[in-house]
Structure 1
Amino acid sequence: MGFWQRIFGKRKKKEEKKEDWDEIVYVRDDVDFHSQEERSRYITGCLEQIAEASREMNLLTGEYALVTSYLTDMEEIEALPEKEREETDKIARRLQALEKERETYHEKKDRMEDLEYYQMRKQEQEVEEGIRKIKEGESYGELIKKDLQRLDREHHAYEFRRAELDTIMTNFKGMAVIFLTALVICILMLLVLQFVFEMNTYLGYFLAVGAAAAAIIVLCIKFIDAEREKHRVEVTINKLIQLQNKVKIRYVNNTNLLDYLYMKYNTDSGAKLERRWAAYQQEKEERKQYAEAEAKTEYYQKQLINRLSNYRIKDPQRWIHQTSALLDKREMVEIRHELILRRQSLRKQMDYNDGVARTAREEIMEIARQYPAYAEEIMDMADKYSG
């Protein structure tokens, strides 16, 4: 058991070992300072460390001064007299309210796209007239379509009646042929009875001819009536065709007009254009309010900057976006705490880089003391590098 603990214990210690990356180590044992090349390379390395630390110090110093000024401004604001603080808070509350208005506008999900908005704005003076024309055209088109459908049904009905009359007239002709054929057959039979069987068939002749004549007369009358009705039907069909042509012309013209209006207003129905127009009007009002809020925001920002500039505040500009901190002490405390932590972190980095530069300089001075023969050369290298 102890054997395995020793093995795994050693492994754990090895895994938990951390490299000390912050420590700068100078190793001279393997450097031949009597060699100009090695000596120059070692000193250059130290000088580069000083330069790198100096660059970092410049950046850190600027940020440190900025954070410090921010903290100082917070102390100045909290030290304002009550009356002055009330006036400042009044402006801050107004700015905060305007900022919420702007956020509400930006967070709105169903906003009209800029392209669509500006297209509507170009046609703003004529959109309402366009909606009226499109709706009238759509209503008129529906009426025309209904008329065409009604005329088409009537046309089909009269065409069916004409075909029916043609069939009736054909049947009448066939019946007339049948009656005449029957008359001829009756006469032939009567002749046979008269001459072969010497029977008296005069009455038969009379009845056969009379019946055939009566049937043919009836057929002729019905045929003439059917022919007249067919003529009336054909006249009506011609009138329907002419009327259909007129309505078709109106339908095509109305359709072409609607297509043009749809293309002009980039829509496919009057209802959609009307909804877009309503959305545009709402968007226009909201954009107007947003523009007014922008103008008021700029005005109150200047007011706040001017008021804070009257006190010992180094950067009043930064507070126009920190109105919540001006109005809420808890948020001001949180910001101060964050700034203090940031300043501590910057101080730590500055101390580290200062230590790096100081250690590198001490290393160079130590080498100059240990090798006085090269001291002047080392100092010249340091002067040139820093210069």
Structure 2
Amino acid sequence: MKIFKKKKELHSEPEFDKELERKQNETEQLDISLDNMELELKDLADSKKSAYQEKEETLNQTKDSIADTCNQIADAKKQIQEAKLEYKAVTDYLADIQKIDAIEGKEREELEDAARNIITLTRERSKYQTADIKLSDVQFRNISRYEKNMVREIRQMRENEDYQRMVKGDLRQLAAEKAKLEFERDEIIGGQEMLRKLSIAAGILVVLMDIIFVVLSEKKELDLNVPFILSIIFAAGIAFYIFHESRRNRMEILKNNQKRSRLVGLTNTVKIKYVNTQNALDYAYGKFMVVNSMELSSVYDKYMKAKKEAEQYRSNTGMLNFYNNALIKELRQRNIKDCDIWIYQAAALIDNREMVEIRHRLNERRQKLRERIDFNYKVQNNGLSMLKNSMEKKPEWKQKVEEEMEKAGIDFQQMELSE
């Protein structure tokens, strides 16, 4: 029996290192799409559990699962609220464009005249502003629109990027841990198969020995009681070893299943956070027309320098202020909600191509927001369905579910499932 254990120990560690390295390489490119998310863990082995073990495992998994689900619902609710506010702002912006397009006649001429003068005066001033600062008019106007919140936007983008890198590291670590657990499970199953073969071989050997002893005792009239008893003792020893190792393997498989169940829950939570963070970053990149927070910070610094220089000449730009006020007055008469924005987008008032481009970008932003809202509604609805089904199928879990829901601020009556 020690020989078997020794051989297993000699080959286990090198095989483990080799197999773990292979599976880590396979998981180097992480798949974080929702379609591949493991939302359920199927039976990981065909071993039978005692009633006590199964109950204990279920209770432990239930506590973690309920808490994770409630946290996911709360986070999804927050994401939906933030996205809806931004969605309303973008929708109002598009509504303003429709109102502007409807302006005709003399009012249109006055509006375009003010816009042309604003463009001319702004370009004259920008020649000096951007002489030593490489900042395009489009970037200047874009940053101007969000100037009040730029520091917060840069900080938020940088935090999201740092968090995204951390989440990628967590996903790789979880993938490596999963590969390790799968390797351990395969090792245990292989051990069970070896025990099965050993039991068959031992049984055949004992039967052959008994037959030989019986034949010898009949033909040569030898006293083979002692060898016969020794064969029985040998068979009993083998049986005890197989029973002991099989029981130990079943316990190891049970522990392995529990670890994998918890690992899947953690992976799902991390993936949802990853997708939400990535959606927020993609939206911010499109909003500010940059590729990362470093570029946005650089553009903002250039903008502040350009603005500082512009302020030195603001006292001499009375005409620009005059036309700015004239433009705002015309727009207010048409009930435009955000009139100040069009000072920085005056070109769109006289060039339909510019207006089409603005409308296109707004529609893209609104589509991304809609996808973000839909995604989080799915997360929220799936979580609510899981909690509801848990309370219906397992009434004894109802108190635990309600406690976790209260902690997360979840109310079934106020948060109905979306169709």
TM-score range, shorter chain: 0.3 to 0.5
TM-score, normalising length: structure 2? 0.44
Point out the structure with max Rg over C-alpha. 1
TM-score, normalising length: structure 1? 0.48
